[in-house]
A and B are shown apart, each in its own frame.
Chain A
């Protein structure tokens, strides 16, 4: 790899390419398997099999698109999808509102006890979720939130991690900017809404993205606080469907495709924003 910026085909770079190609194949393979199995008949899932996607036996003889309709209706996926979308949207809205306000205060206002409060906040980051399972279940049940949207969303409406991420960004904004606004008579509310928020689109997207994925993928908490399909998200719906579909592999995979497709499509449409959002969640800079 020369420093002149042109691509050169040396044996070394060919080897790198081959290694990366194999890695990418390993990443993609399970998805190909998922799609091909979801289009097979029940018989084909047992008899027409091959580990190599280039072989015809890997794919169904005639694609059975009706599998998706069967899975969709049998598992009431439309209800689960609606629940997941609602839960995720409410959680994201709550997280954005609470975390950005708090992050602004911690980054830009000097107030009594700010360091101590922030330290307490950060300390909650290392506590594993399993520790919260029992007490929060008891709490949410006592509040009468069992099997409600509130029970699914409110406990996740603020998180030290998101406050921390946003604070890191807000702290980089020049203080003079806010000072001059204050001289012009703007209060903290005004500076927050008209100066800080418009500049923070990128980190706010990161936080929304992380909160959305966290909510969309969560399984443990919804299993615990939902008793009926009323508010059950797609993760719980899919696990129930998988265990009920039993040996019907083609239907199980059809269900998996239904759950994977929206997220992966969204990812391919906005992949640059997604990768940047995840990378930003990593570490400073």
Chain B
């Protein structure tokens, strides 16, 4: 190929000045680069970027598996949120209020910090009150199923991610020590993550079945408990544990809605959460072990010389230096919550179906069983907006607390 020799003035200049110029070499570089990225860009654009805009388009229509049926404008969205405009506006205002409060509280280290902080806390309180008042109305006048699935998603998220993070660190620290058979333990803790989800979920479906002779119920009997319905139990975990809850004045919309929250996740959802722990703790531990390997040993030796206890060095060396891993895993975990599908699809029992379906399952059934592609798209857009919001929030709040060890 007719490349200019290295000592030609053109090439010299190109290497000397970092500014891009249309020298033959940069031109050919760009051409090669575009050629190299074009196959993957084609796939990503067609199946990864265009679909987001296409969903937005589909969400404006009544769309059946056969094709478009009719234009609805915002009809699908009013089906989700209802048409109770004052309360929708209040809900939107409260969300804007949260953002304002977050902004004000972030100014607390600036000049007049105390003033900003108190304004921020005030805004936070007002937004919370508005949110607590508006959400029940919107949820009861919009599509109850969607709002239920959002609640289920939140329960699922807060019961899986923090537990998996904590247990993952714990197992990682135990496995990093000098334990006999450590390599064998490492291999075994990862098997639940490796095995195909459909198959292991099918196993848990039997382990946690409602039959009195099921594995879970036999274990309960060993400890003198009475058999439970497990995956088929739609009742909330809190009334189950503490006896039946006092039925709130169910006529009023606001207390009735929050009373539903106060029941906690259903036992069926808790069973699914336990499955998620079983699958993911080994994976989290592995990633944490990797993170532990990056912590310089000298830090611990210095701490030991200074007379710090094991516990002390765990909290002041290990945990802070693992924060990039924690950040990564929490991001992964929360995004994972929004796409949780396979195990819930296998584990959902008809008797408890309405209490275990997170938003991903709702979208799937709206599309696949009901054949409502337009409506499913509208829910997808809602999910998309939520995920973007959460990602921004997580970046803002967590990145500051992340310590990079190197």
Contact = CB atoms under 8 A, between A and B. Distances in A.
A116 interface: no
A235 B47 CA distance: 23
Interface string A154-169: 1101111001000000
Interface in A254-275: 255-257, 259-260, 263-264, 267-268, 271, 274-275
A16 B174 contact: yes
Nearest to A50: B218
A51 B219 contact: yes
A256 B199 contact: yes
B202 A99 contact: no
Contacts of A129: 339, 341, 360
A75 B47 CA distance: 32
A42 interface: no
Contact of B41 (A111, A117, A263): A117
A24 B345 CA distance: 27
Nearest to A157: B43
B215 A33 contact: yes
Interface string A1-23: 10101010000010011011001
A260 B200 contact: yes
A242 B198 CA distance: 10
B328 A239 contact: no
Contact of A220 (B286, B301, B341): B341
Contacts of B37: 101-102, 105-106, 117
B33 A13 contact: no
A33 B49 contact: no
A219 B89 CA distance: 39
A283 B205 CA distance: 33
A26 interface: yes
Given A223-B368, A282-B328, A19 B190 contact: no
Interface in A25-57: 26-28, 30-31, 33-34, 37, 46-47, 49-51
A126 B40 contact: no
Among B46, B211, B341, max chain A CB count under 10 A is at B341
B203 interface: yes
Contacts of B54: 135, 138-139
A133 B187 contact: no
Interface string B34-73: 1011011111101111111011001000000000000000
Contacts of A249: 206
A238 B197 CA distance: 11
A114 B33 contact: yes
Nearest to B378: A134
B29 interface: yes
Interface in B1-38: 1, 3, 6, 20, 26, 29-30, 32-34, 36-37
A255 B55 CA distance: 37
Given A19-B174, A101-B40, A135-B58, A127 B48 contact: yes
Contact of A134 (B3, B289, B373): B373
Among B6, B180, B329, max chain A CB count under 10 A is at B180
Contacts of B185: 20, 23-24
A217 B20 contact: no
Contacts of A131: 51-52, 55, 380-381, 383-384
Interface stretch (A61-69, A181-189, A199-207): A181-189
Interface SS of chain B: helix
Given A50-B218, A101-B40, A217 B33 contact: no
A239 B346 contact: yes
Given A220-B364, A259-B199, A260-B200, A120 B49 contact: yes
B189 A23 contact: yes
Nearest to B51: A135
B118 interface: no
Interface string A134-150: 11111100000000000
Contacts of B46: 139
Contacts of A50: 218
A27 B278 contact: yes
Contacts of B49: 120, 124
Among B39, B301, B359, B384, max chain A CB count under 10 A is at B39
A98 interface: yes
B224 interface: no
B180 A17 contact: yes
Interface in B127-165: none
A244 B339 CA distance: 26
A104 B188 contact: no
B376 interface: yes
Contact of B40 (A28, A46, A99): A99
B345 A239 contact: yes
Given A110-B26, A127-B384, A235-B342, 5 more contacts: A28-B191, A30-B204, A31-B195, A33-B203, A159-B44
The 3 lowest CB-CB distance pairs between A and B, nearest first, are: A158-B40, A135-B51, A111-B33
